[in-house]
Structure 1
């Protein structure tokens, strides 16, 4: 067990920032927001697709949202064909189908009905929700579409005009938005577990590796014959070479459940929550859901650092991921000191340029860290 734990820790240390964000959400069974510059959003989308396939061996669907995206567009955009096998359901689905077929072919005693041969599924019925759904520019979609996304995230199912699709396991919904754009609707925004801002200098290692391989292939093509590999064979080769197996994810989830937290560290976590709510620049966003996510992320981070307990540094790290997309900065005229006669100009000067990240850092410096 310790040897496998060490191997997982080595794998975790080699992950990029985007890969680590996806891993944390898969282990915690939650969802995330990823923000990047508008010029990089297509490349980040490609990187996330490669992460889903190469690192975790999961199916992936990309939905490009605009203000004209309809509910039907959303419902069809999150589906993938059933020709590819994801590593959780391939064997189970086959075994279940064989079991169901044998039950249908076996006559029941005392029954006069003749068994009917099962009808082939229609192309619509053969599709399913992808393990990882990337909703690009979800904040540009209408409120109806965002409510549908909220229903999918909370209920893990999506209703279409003809069928009900259940989300697979594992399931991860990623909102990929451009930095500096408007927020998601209130309840959908609060439902997302963590947020991560990807900068250009952080790099896109999987996309860069793919581009390097394509360059090598193009160079070799001029001197050798080209053998085309079928798409399904390519998918299976990626599945075999995935970095994190289902056993690795399950082991991290089990270890997350066994993580311990002392009373002093728990008090430190709750003090951060209280200081967030009382901060003069905060108008909202420190919800009960955020506190539950805060606690869950602290537990999820411990096994990734080969720990079975939560340290104060993990609490501070969790706060930097839980609250940036949630904190709402108050308007100067609504700042609480205005109620007892503060100058509006002075309040504007204090709040000028204050961001959610500034609030988090100020709170972390104000709260006493347990020894």
Structure 2
């Protein structure tokens, strides 16, 4: 179990800081959603969270339908670092067994980073991909490969991501899956930040108390200097990571998890089912939440909380004409009326309300 001082420090974190901490502890990546008008403020807040709270370098890429692989790579390789040896034993993209795939051929043909640029750059600890859902498919595939392999390939070298590495897909508005299928499933959790909850780190940068929207936006936030100690150190993250790996999940709670998964897969409003990767993330998040609550074991409430963070970005709402009862002659208008207004969060709450477990004595 974590010490009381650490638990108090964790309880003082904002929702964005806590989401970042969970992902760093789990060594996974996330989607953060907000209102479209608040995206710019959220970008600066996340930059400050990375720099001041965790002492990590960060990079921002503002995606659009015109974003190229060059843009993506240059944004990621934006931190000065040591040159990477070109004779690395890691297989280069030219040697990859993916070479015959059309998508990867286009990436190989357009080696996104020039030799001189890549040799003295390294990948940032935290990558904030604003409007990633608007980026072309090949850019999203490149992001997926980076998350899976923690490497990005150049013409002459392989750039490796740092040990503490977090990729944040920052989206504005909407509900349900918006990224390509496999990239979406790779994302560990999704979190919606309500602008009314504020941007505490950004607000502290203004001395006059004016609202954030009424002042001129500053440029990109720089990383903290060597004398600025982060509030959450690498040692703390490693400690929480080890505690999460040893957290206990009883057989009864395993059954509760499986009941939630089964209900979601069979829910009439869900199209496409629930993936196996989501199930693995579900179990992992429940374990990660335990030490944050100063527990060495998972509880039903932590299981429910994990479900609310794991599944919202993964659930597709079925179209009325595809709903399964249509096979037995249901009226499409009646089904449309039934599904009207139902979103992923409604499905999750329906599942938790139906299969909710009583707290063990």
Give the TM-score, by structure 2 length: 0.84
Distance 1:123 1:235 in 2: 24
**Count of residues in correspondence between the two structures:** 315
Distance 2:152 2:242 in 1: 28
Distance 2:134 2:273 in 1: 21
Superposition deviation, residue 161 in structure 1: 3.4
Distance 1:161 1:61 in 2: 22
Check whether the contact 1:265–1:311 (CA below 8 A) recurs between aligned residues. yes
**1:333 is aligned to 2:333:** no
The match for 2:253 among 265, 286, 291 is 265
- 1:200 is matched with 195
Map Cα deviations across residues 44-63 of structure 1 (whole Å, 9 max, x no partner).
Answer: 00000000000000000001
Q: Which structure shows the higher helix fraction?
A: 1
Distance 1:20 1:81 in 2: 25
Check whether the contact 2:274–2:314 (CA below 8 A) recurs between aligned residues. yes
- 2:143 is matched with 149
Superposition deviation, residue 38 in structure 1: 1.0
- 2:213 is matched with none
- 2:174 is matched with 180
Give 1 or 2 for the bigger CA radius of gyration.
Answer: 1
- 1:366 is matched with 354
The match for 1:19 among 4, 17, 20 is 17
- 2:28 is matched with 30
Superposition deviation, residue 8 in structure 1: 1.4
Map Cα deviations across residues 121-163 of structure 1 (whole Å, 9 max, x no partner).
Answer: 9663121000000000100000000000010011111113343
- 2:266 is matched with 278
SS in 1 for 2:248: coil
How do 1:309-320 residues align onto structure 2 when only pairs under 5 Å count?
Answer: 309-320=297-308
The match for 1:235 among 200, 214, 225 is 225
Once superposed, what is the RMSD of the aligned Cα atoms? 1.9
Structure 2 gap ranges (5+): 83-114, 211-221
Superposition deviation, residue 214 in structure 1: 9.8
The 1:17/1:298 distance shift into structure 2, 3 A limit, reads: same
- 2:312 is matched with 324
How do 1:81-120 residues align onto structure 2 when only pairs under 5 Å count?
Answer: 81-82=79-80
Check whether the contact 2:130–2:170 (CA below 8 A) recurs between aligned residues. yes
Deviant stretches of 4+, over 4 Å: none
The 1:191/1:41 distance shift into structure 2, 3 A limit, reads: same
- 1:295 is matched with 283
Superposition deviation, residue 345 in structure 1: 1.4
Superposition deviation, residue 202 in structure 1: 1.0
Structure 1 gap ranges (5+): 84-92, 94-120, 216-230
Check whether the contact 2:77–2:118 (CA below 8 A) recurs between aligned residues. no
The 1:316/1:184 distance shift into structure 2, 3 A limit, reads: same
- 1:77 is matched with 75
How do 1:214-229 residues align onto structure 2 when only pairs under 5 Å count?
Answer: none
Check whether the contact 1:75–1:159 (CA below 8 A) recurs between aligned residues. no
